[in-house]
Amino acid sequence: MNPTENNTFCPNEIDASCRVPLLALFGGAALWLVLGLALGIAAMLSFHQPDLFAGCPFLSYGRAQAAANDLLFYGFVIPAALGVMLWIFARLSRSPLALPLVPVAAANLWHVGVLVGTVSILLGFSTGHPWLEYPRAAAVLLFAAFMLVAVSAVATMGFRLNRELYPSHWFLFAALLWFVWSYATANLFLVSGHPPRGVAQAVVGWWLANNLIFVWLALAGVGIAFYFLPKIAGKPLASSGYALFAFLTLVFFGAWAGIPPGAPVPAWLPTVSAFGALLSLIPVIAIGIIAKKTVCGAKVPCRGGPFCFIKFGVLGFVVSSLLYLGEFCPRASRVLEFTWFQTGVTQWQLLGFAGMILCGAIYEILPRVMDRELPFAWLVKLNFFLFAGGTLLFVVPLLLGGVEQGLKLRDAAVPFADTGAAALKFLRVSTTGQLLALLGSLCLLLNILVMTIQWKLGLVKCVVTAVTAPLNAPEVKS
Amino acid sequence: MKNGFWVFLAAFVALGASWLGLVYGPLKQLGVATETKVLQSDAKWPQARTGDATLGLQVYRSAGCAACHTEQIRQTGAANVLTITETGSHQPADLKGFINSLSSSVPELMNYSNAVAANLAGWNGELPKVLYRGAADTVVALLGDKLKAVGVKTEARVVATGADIARPGWGARQSVAADYLYDAPVQLGSLRAGPDLSNIGVRSPDLNWQLQHLYAPRSLVKNSTMPAFRFLFSVRKKADGPDAADALVLPKEFAPATGQEVVPTTEARQLAAYLVSLKAGVPLYEAPFTPITAAK
């Protein structure tokens, strides 16, 4: 099935059914993206001016950094991806969104959860487990909200007219299941109040981090890209068979990576993970080839629009995944472990891959859903160049600085203070990149915000006209 | 594929398999761990922390210290080291000749004769002298026995190797699962913007040093990039009479205004107690080494 066919099937009704849930999801996501990047910059300031927040516990590096990372992932990536998923499922099903009020409630619940979690971290109530810092109250809200959106998404998928599943269906449906299962499992083990003994906590944490930041991002991001790339390029996906191969290898191999080679655990665990990471190269390369074949030869100009975002995002997926999987190679890990390299790879996965694809998808969807043009269409191009350039300037110095730091760490003759100093000059450049990405994200927020205001004003105007309209003649008593 | 069930099944089997391998398996193996025995000793490891140090872990978690500090030491391997501690009545030059002839004539030692000769090349008799550094136990034992027979005292030790171990005060062996038995949450960390802390309690055992370092890192470590944690301290007006017992003694450029003093809060004291409790200094079955104190 070719997704371009959908346009012929009453798309207006479908888009209208998505309007309110998507606005709720995207609006909050864009706001969290801006706040997450801003908080990330605030955190990095501690490296430029160590005593800046000496008297302010809320912005000390350890807290602000964790809160910023969680804002990017839980605040921006997940709700934005859920919104895009709902729309894709509705379009692929050729039927309006099922239970449209449920995701609206869920979106608000989700954003409250993110708010509670972020404030908790800044106040010092983090759980202390990477990617699972949100305390129980926030985790429960997030889980409930995700389940609600998933119910609506799966119901929409169930109402599809064409029973054949499109490749995006596999990736996105699996992403829904994946988050629910892995997030619930990790929270039950680590946040429930009865954590497992000792280092088993860290193992569960690594398992979750890999399943969210590698597998879930890949499922969601690639699923979305596999819908939009053929649609914009005007060519079918090349091909469904390859996509099935990539999907199966991704879920079966990808879930085994995650335990770092130097971990203080029995040696079989990192060994299994290194093997899983090696096999995960297969789906990453396969996805790269599929995207390349689909896009190649398409006579569609890019011009900094959604197509650019999504192409850049897929390229970002391939590169960041290769770097991520490389970290599990024991030999590379001896240099790269415990350095800024890992931070750089994670930020690339979040911003350069998922962030780019989601921004592109939002710009593609929003005008259709709202049935009006973007208020500042020229900002899309600016957003692309700021975000793409900013992400690269943010991430590449971290990668290079990480390698230099790692090489110095490996040489015991170099004093430890010098290894930190080596990274500082890279961090200066990196923060500049972060600032550019923040400016880019402001473009997204501005577009969504103004669009929401216009839409709400339109609603008010509608009500006012209805109320103030002259009554029909028969109703007027003379 | 026409049926979402197959996608469900694929995701379920894939994630379930990795759950069995990377969650259930480790929980069965590590989640039931108990204290282990310290090598060549009756002591148990790890020792549970006392009150302040236990609470200090929660301050560590709350402040997000693990964002910049790891608590895990890696090692690349282990080596047997044979050291001459006493030459007896022999002159260094004679002994050198004897050892070289020994290692080139005894069949078991022949493979190692070049390494031993290289180690002895510039030796003028200073002690202790590392004679051989390598992995084979038998070589060390045999060489030790032969030297003992002519009245030369040697000492055989097992040492861990690797850059982390070679850094002064970072610990004598790699971190192993047993070290974290009493930690909740386990704070392994993943970035070394600051130094590793698994052995900080041995490296800087002084509570007052830890407190001053938390208040003003650069007053103790000149090039430190660590942010000051002044919010863990209260600056208050000095009372008449002698200084408060717990007031920090700070160098002039870090001291508060005259008439004021810096006093650690409870959290600061707990955090310092936790840091001082971080020691990874005993040999275990999975990470053996010969403690220096044991070699007399």
The residues in B 128-187 lying below 8 A from A, measured between CB atoms, are 163-164, 166-167, 174-187
| Measured distance CA(B161)–CA(B78) in Å, rounded | 5
Which residues 22-81 of B have a C-beta within 8 angstroms of A?
22-23, 26-27, 29-33, 61-68, 70, 72, 74, 76
Which pLDDT score is estimated for B239?
Answer: 82
Total residue length of chain A: 478
Q: How far, in Å, CA of A110 to CA of A27, rounded? A: 12
Of chain B residues 182-211, which have a CB less than 8 A from chain A?
A: 182-195
Q: CB-based contacts of B29: which residues, under 8 Å, 6+ apart?
A: A266
Q: How many CB pairs under 8 A join A and B?
A: 236
pLDDT for position A151? 97
Task: Please state the pTM of the whole predicted model.
Answer: 0.93
Picking from A338, A343, A407, A430 by the largest number of B CB atoms within 10 A of its own CB, the best residue to mutate is A338
For A:81-120, CB contacts with B below 8 A are none
pLDDT band at A4 (very low <50, low <70, confident <90, very high): very low
| A300 at interface of B, judged by CB pairs closer than 8 A | no
Contacts of A265 in chain B (CB under 8 A): 26, 30, 177
pLDDT at B93: 86
Q: Using an 8 Å Cβ cutoff, are A262 and A337 in contact?
A: yes
Residue B30: closest CA among chain A residues belongs to which residue? A200
Residue B171 to chain A, least CA–CA distance (Å): 13
Mean pLDDT of chain A: 94
Q: Which of A129, A203, A256 to mutate to test the interface with B (most CBs of B within 10 A)?
A: A203
Q: Chain B residues with CB inside 8 Å of A338's CB?
A: 70, 189-192
Sequence-ordered strand ranges (E) for chain B: 36-37, 44-45, 77-86, 129-134, 153-161, 233-237, 260-264
Instruction: Choose among A52, A198, A207: nearest Cβ to B177.
Output: A198
What would the mean pLDDT of A279-295 be, rounded to a whole number?
97
Cβ-based neighbour number of residue A196 at 10 Å: 21
Average pLDDT over residues A127-134: 96
d(CA A175, nearest CA chain B) in Å: 9
Q: Got the DSSP string for A344-396?
A: HHHHIIIIIIIIHHHHHHHHHHHHHHHTS--TTTHHHHHHHHHHHHHHHHHHH
With H, G, I as helix, E, B as strand and everything else as coil, classify residue B284.
strand
- 128-187 in A: which are within 8 Å (CB) of B? 128-130, 154, 157-158, 163-165, 169-170, 173-174, 177-178, 181-182, 185
User: A3, A361 in Cβ contact below 8 A?
Assistant: no
Asked if residue B195 has a cis previous peptide bond (ω within 30° of 0), the answer is no
Measured between beta carbons, the chain B residues lying within 8 angstroms of A282 are none
Residues of A in contact with B191 (CB under 8 A): 338-340, 342-343
Residue of A57, A153, A164 lying closest to A99 (CA atoms): A153
Q: Which residues of A touch B26 (CB under 8 A)?
A: 200, 203-204, 265-266, 269
Q: Where are the domains positioned within chain B?
A: 45-72+169-277, 77-161
CB contact under 8 A, A50 and B225: yes
The residues that bridge with B133 in the sheet, in sequence order, are: B81
Q: Nearest CA to CA, how far is B92 from chain A (Å)?
A: 30
**Is the CB of A190 inside 8 Å of chain B's CB atoms?**
yes
Angle made by CA atoms A105, A111, A113, in degrees to the nearest 5:
100
Residue ranges of B 225-254 with Cβ closer than 8 A to chain A: 225-231
Share of chain B above pLDDT 70, in %: 97
Q: Name which of B175, B176, B228 is nearest A54 (Cβ-Cβ).
A: B228
pLDDT at A1 over 50: no
Chain B residues with CB under 8 Å of A255 CB are 14-15, 17-18, 22
Q: CA nearest B68 in A: which residue?
A: A62
- Which CATH fold topology does B77-161 show? Ribosomal Protein L30; Chain: A, (3.30.1390)
Q: Is the pLDDT of residue A173 over 80?
A: yes
Residues of B in contact with A417 (CB under 8 A): 221-224
Of the candidates A91, A153, A81, A167, the one whose C-alpha atom is nearest the C-alpha of residue A360 is A81
pLDDT of residue A7: 45
Indicate the residue type of A2.
N
pLDDT tens figures, A349-386: 999 999 999 999 999 999 999 999 999 999 999 999 99
On the question of pLDDT at A282 being above 90, the answer is: yes
State the alpha helices, DSSP H only, in A255-355. Answer: 268-295, 306-326, 330-336, 340-347
B213 Cβ partners below 8 Å, 6+ apart? B204, B219, B220, B221, B226
What one-character DSSP code corresponds to residue A239?
-
pLDDT at A127 over 80: yes
Per-residue pLDDT tens for A230-269?
A: 999 999 998 899 999 999 999 999 999 999 998 999 999 9
Tell me the ipTM for this assembly.
0.93
Q: Quick one: fold of A1-164?
A: Four Helix Bundle (Hemerythrin (Met), subunit A) (1.20.120)
A21 has a pLDDT exceeding 70: yes
Question: Distance of alpha carbon A21 from its chain centroid, rounded?
Answer: 18
Q: List the 259-278 stretch of A: residues with Cβ below 8 A of B.
A: 259-260, 262-266, 269, 272-273, 276
Mean pLDDT confidence for A56-66: 95
Give the tens place of pLDDT for each residue, B228-271: 999 999 999 888 777 778 899 999 999 998 889 999 999 999 99
Q: B263 has which bridge partners?
A: B234
Return the CATH number of the domain spanning residue range B45-72+169-277. 1.10.760.10
Whole-number pLDDT of residue A68: 98
The minimum CA-CA distance between B54 and chain A, rounded to whole Å, is: 14
Is residue A52 within 8 angstroms of chain B, CB to CB? yes
Could you give the 3-state DSSP secondary structure of residue A52? coil
Tokens of A28: 């909050």
Per-residue pLDDT of chain B (296 residues; tens, 9 = 90+): 678 899 999 999 999 999 999 999 999 999 888 899 998 888 999 989 989 999 999 999 999 999 999 999 999 988 889 888 888 888 888 888 888 888 888 888 888 888 888 888 888 888 888 888 886 778 888 888 888 888 888 888 899 999 999 998 999 999 999 999 999 999 999 999 999 999 999 999 999 999 999 999 999 998 899 999 999 999 998 887 777 788 999 999 999 988 899 999 999 999 999 999 999 888 999 888 888 654 33
User: Which pLDDT tens digit goes with each residue over A73-87?
Assistant: 999 999 999 999 999
